Amino acid sequence: IFNHFDVLEESELVQLFQSCSSGAGYITSEGWQFLFLELGAETLLSIYQHWVNGMAPMEGLILLALKAGYHPIHNEYGDYDEAEGYFITLNGFKFRVDWEEIRKYNQ
């Protein structure tokens, strides 16, 4: 179990991503929000890119966050319908995930 103080160190964040990639770990929606807001996309990408499997690193990070219930570009919590490509916020607003917007997020 990690808390927000643990992942401020790069070595701990590496360990967290390793745990998640092996199926032994999971990052909650609140955890993803903290990671994106506190550490930023560049820091996350520099570490996460080692575990990317056939997907662009930014897309992979955001997909994991979406599946956990957090949309990092809009800073919203909700549910992601991967089959339909929609994110539904906690207040019921539904919008299609714009992968073109996501590709530009880190630029």
- pLDDT (tens digit per residue) in 57-107: 788 889 989 999 999 999 999 999 999 999 999 999 999 998 888 877 655
Q: Is the dihedral of CA 52, 26, 46, 80 positive or negative?
A: positive
CA diameter of the chain: 38
Determine how many CB atoms are found less than 10 A away from the CB of residue 72.
Answer: 20
Rounded to the nearest integer, the mean pLDDT of the chain is: 84
The residues, ordered by sequence, that sit 6+ positions from 68 with a Cβ below 8 Å of its Cβ are 26, 27, 28, 29, 31, 32
